[in-house]
Amino acid sequence: MPPDVNLLTDRQREVYEYLLAYVERHGDQPTMRTMCRDLSIASVNGIVGHLNALEKKGFVRKRTDAFGQVGLVLVGWRFVRVPDDGGPYGAAPDP
């Protein structure tokens, strides 16, 4: 279970809820550029800042798989291998 969402700013909550909804709908996480477009954030750096804040507050974790690919783990979700080239991050609900 993730920490209390009251720890998040309104924008961080929006990003977190967007990630949850996107994964639920599509089965994987959006690309950084998709997140920029859907959340009206001007740059990938802006997304990275939000993801870093979510990580610091315990809502997501970054993980590198055996192939050296970096992925994002939503707390309470399991890791799925994804590319580290601006492609999608991956997650799936824990069974």
Q: Which helix (DSSP H) or strand (DSSP E) does residue 45 occupy?
A: helix 44-56
Sketch out the chain's domains with CATH numbers. 8-93 (1.10.10.10)
Give buried/exposed letters for 52-61 (b at 16+ CB in 10 A, else e). ebbeebebbe
Q: Per this entry, what is the length of the chain? A: 95
Q: pLDDT tens for residues 10-58?
A: 999 999 889 888 888 887 778 888 889 999 999 989 988 998 898 898 8
Regarding pTM above 0.85, the answer is no
